């Protein structure tokens, strides 16, 4: 075997490995999405939330991902919110309009994002998140120190919300949830 044939075989093996990796990653993400929007049952097996069926197949999902990654399995794209470069390993999917706010499961509502933007966006609509990013990143309104502090506070609030949500999903009977008081109307004496 000459040197050019060896190089050809190595390139072919590299492409086959990359293709197998693409297939595994996309299958795992597709099935995770299908499970997340599927029906929910409580510990006793009772239906808590009826599920939704994904309006696209695994093959359609793979085609869509390839299109997002410049038409190739090894291609790159950019986060829709911060424009950070992404590849198949680093991209995450986000719903522009969250499902909790009536967003659909189709490709028109899916966005490619980086994990930090997806985490920061949370349940916000894409337009609101972009306005918030524009506001916080405005140097006339926020100094670098204030911007960092504001984003840190938002991250802390997000972690607290996730922690509180997990407490309600798996309630501890010994945990007492404090009563939230509403302020009295001061005008009515």
Adjacent-strand bridge partners of 110: 95
> What stretches of 68-119 adopt beta strand conformation (E)?
77-78, 85-86, 92-95, 110-113
Separation in Å, CA 68 to CA 86, 91, 103, 108, 111: 10, 10, 20, 12, 9
Residues 110-122 have a mean pLDDT of 92
**Range scoring the smallest mean pLDDT among 11-15, 104-108, 164-168:** 164-168
Q: What angle is formed at CA 62 by the lines to CA 21 and CA 56, rounded to 5 degrees?
A: 140
Please determine, for residue 11, whether its predicted confidence score (pLDDT) is greater than 80: no
d(CA 142, CA 135): 8
Residue 79's φ and ψ, nearest 5 degrees, are -60, 135
Q: Convert the pLDDT of each residue in 122-153 to its tens digit.
A: 899 999 999 988 888 888 888 888 888 887 88
Give the pairing type, strands 110-113 and 92-95. Answer: antiparallel
Q: Is the pTM of this model over 0.75?
A: no
Q: What's the whole-number average pLDDT of the chain?
A: 83
Q: Convert the pLDDT of each residue in 43-80 to its tens digit.
A: 998 988 888 999 999 999 999 999 998 787 788 999 99
d(CA 189, CA 181): 18
d(CA 64, CA 45): 35
- Tokens at residue 54, please? 């994904």
Nearest by Cα to 100 from 166, 167, 169, 49: 49
Please determine, for residue 27, whether its predicted confidence score (pLDDT) is greater than 60: yes
The pLDDT assigned to 94 comes to: 95
d(CA 84, CA 96): 17
């Amino acid at each position: 075997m000459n040197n050019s044939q060896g190089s050809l075989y190595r390139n072919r093996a590299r492409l086959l490995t990359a293709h197998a990796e693409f297939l595994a990653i996309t299958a795992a993400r597709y099935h995770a999405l299908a499970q997340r929007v599927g029906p929910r049952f409580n510990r006793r097996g009772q239906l808590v939330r009826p599920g939704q069926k994904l309006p696209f197949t695994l093959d359609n999902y793979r085609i869509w991902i390839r299109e997002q990654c410049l038409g190739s399995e090894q291609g790159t794209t950019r986060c829709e919110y911060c424009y950070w470069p992404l590849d198949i390993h680093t991209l995450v999917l986000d719903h522009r309009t969250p499902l909790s706010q009536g967003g659909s499961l189709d490709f028109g509502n899916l966005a490619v994002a980086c994990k930090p933007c997806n985490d920061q966006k949370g349940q916000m609509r894409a337009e609101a998140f972009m306005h918030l990013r524009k506001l916080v990143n405005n140097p006339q309104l926020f100094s670098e120190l204030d911007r960092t502090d504001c984003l840190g506070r938002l991250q802390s609030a997000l972690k607290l919300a996730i922690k509180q949500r997990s407490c309600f999903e798996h309630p501890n009977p010994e945990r007492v949830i404090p009563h939230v008081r509403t302020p009295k109307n001061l005008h009515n004496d």
